[in-house]
């Protein structure tokens, strides 16, 4: 384990009616034990992945109508499972040939455009919007996080988070079809919602060679539903109170459980203070990773704080190193 940037958290002024550290210090967070998987967990996800690999994305790229100094900017559209048309953006390098690629997930607030500050000049960057959100809005599927997170929650086959994982896998298919130079050299990055979705997607897709999860959500569902929050977990907590139990589905949609099955290098940025995604759930994802992993400790997540700009700069520099030119970082492990 590499653990950097571990200075004690400064006291942060906030107006929340609860403590967003939840009483955990770094040592306690690193001691959070991830849940055990259901007996058929791997079989469920492996079968889902096999179905998603059969999906032909019929991907389309169109000029976005605006320019960037480092990248050509395209609007992206492809067909995911269940007939869902997924929209987003693609950045293709201007100066260098495509040597690798990344699929990049967003938070539950959606995405208004691609991230232009990622330090990967030789990579094609895919920014798909998860089904129902931003450029992937569709009739019948609510976009608001507190409604989206509940859609199909009582059926593990229909639960919307499973469809969002499908969208990642089909994005990898589209990326490799459109940019053959990236084939076999694909990474994943995701923040918050996108971090949790990535933790569920990466273990089963042998095409994804390495990953980064930033303040990942959906980790340790039992803890997630027991701690106060202003995030999407609050809606699931209300639903649990109404139905009187934690939906069995959530045992299969636990990012910390899925992380146990990961076989590629993963970088995690996890926060000591976070009112939206409780830190014990974030660290449960990190703690569950069995193999090569690296930790960057943030003072806070989903919250402005004095060292935020400095830490984001440090994090980008660390990601450039983690996903650097070492062949083991950009080629599939065998």
Tens of pLDDT along 156-167? 999 999 999 999
Between CA 192 and CA 276, with CA 89 as vertex, the angle to 5 degrees is 15
Is residue 219 assigned to a domain?
yes
Is there a domain that residue 317 lies in? yes
User: Average pLDDT, whole number, for the chain?
Assistant: 94
Handedness of CA 287, 289, 291, 297 (dihedral sign): negative
**Tokens representing 96?**
């260098």
**Residue 333 counted as domain residue:** no
Average pLDDT over residues 124-145: 97
For 19-43, letters b (16+ CB in 10 Å) and e give ebbbebebeebbebebbebeeebee
Q: Are 57 and 81 in contact (CB under 8 A)?
A: no
Collapsing DSSP to helix, strand or coil, 173 comes out as: helix
Q: Which domain holds residue 91?
A: 2-322
Report d(CA 333, CA 296) in Å as an integer. 23
Residue 65 has pLDDT above 90, yes or no: yes
Residue 331 lies in a domain: no
Domain assignment present for residue 332? The answer is no
Q: Is residue 65 part of a domain?
A: yes
Q: How confident is the model at residue 6 (pLDDT cuts 50, 70, 90)?
A: low
Domain count, the chain: 1
Query: Which CATH number do you get for residue 58?
Result: 3.40.50.1820
- pLDDT score, position 331: 37
Write out the H or E segment, with its range, that includes residue 293: strand 293-298
From residue 209, how far is each of 31, 143, 201, 286, 316 by CA, in Å?
A: 27, 31, 12, 17, 19
Residue found under tokens 């099955």: 261
Tell me, what's the pLDDT at 333? 27
Q: Is the pLDDT confidence value at 238 over 70?
A: yes
Q: Give the span between the Cα atoms of 144 and 195, in whole angstroms.
A: 18
Q: How does 246-274 read in b/e, with b if 16+ C-beta sit within 10 Å?
A: bbebbbbbbbbbbbbbbebbbbbbbbbbb
Q: Which residue has the tokens 């001691």?
A: 31
More confident residue, 210 or 333: 210
| 310-331 pLDDT per residue, tens | 999 999 999 999 998 544 444 3
Query: Is position 334 within any domain?
Result: no
pLDDT at 208: 98
Q: What is the mean pLDDT of residues 178-197?
A: 97
Q: Three-state SS for 209?
A: strand
Segment 17-31, tens digit of pLDDT: 999 999 999 999 999
pTM: 0.94
**Is 328 a member of any domain?**
no
Q: What is the pLDDT of residue 210?
A: 98
């Amino acid at each position: 384990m590499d653990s950097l940037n571990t200075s004690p958290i400064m006291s942060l002024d906030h107006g929340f009616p609860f403590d967003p550290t939840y009483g955990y210090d770094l040592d306690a967070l690193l001691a959070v034990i991830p849940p055990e998987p259901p007996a058929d967990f791997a079989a469920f996800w492996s079968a889902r992945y096999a179905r998603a690999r059969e999906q032909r994305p019929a991907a389309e790229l169109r000029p976005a109508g605006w320019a960037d100094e480092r990248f050509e900017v395209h609007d992206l559209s492809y067909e995911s499972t269940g007939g869902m048309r997924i929209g987003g953006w693609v950045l293709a390098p201007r100066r260098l040939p495509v040597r690798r690629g990344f699929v990049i997930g967003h938070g539950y607030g959606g995405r208004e455009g691609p991230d232009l500050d990622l330090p990967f000049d030789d990579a094609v960057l895919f920014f798909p919007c998860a089904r129902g959100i931003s450029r992937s809005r569709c009739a019948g599927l609510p976009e608001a996080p507190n409604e989206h997170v509940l859609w199909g929650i009582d059926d593990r086959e229909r639960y919307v988070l499973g469809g969002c994982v499908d969208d990642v896998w089909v994005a990898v298919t589209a990326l490799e079809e459109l940019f053959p130079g990236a084939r076999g050299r694909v990474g994943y990055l995701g923040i918050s919602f996108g971090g949790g979705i990535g933790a569920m997607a990466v273990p089963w897709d042998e095409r994804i060679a390495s990953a980064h999860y930033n303040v990942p959500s959906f980790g340790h569902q039992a803890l997630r539903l027991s701690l106060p929050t202003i995030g999407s977990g609050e809606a699931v907590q209300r639903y649990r109170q109404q139905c009187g139990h934690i939906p069995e589905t959530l045992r299969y949609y636990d990012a910390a459980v899925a992380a146990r099955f990961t076989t590629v290098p993963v970088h995690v940025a996890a926060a000591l203070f976070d009112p939206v995604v409780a830190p014990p759930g974030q660290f449960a994802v990190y703690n569950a990773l069995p193999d090569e992993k690296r930790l960057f400790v943030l003072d806070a997540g989903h919250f402005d704080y004095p060292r935020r700009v400095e830490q984001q700069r440090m994090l980008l520099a660390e990601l450039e190193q983690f996903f650097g030119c070492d062949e083991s970082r950009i080629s599939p492990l065998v």
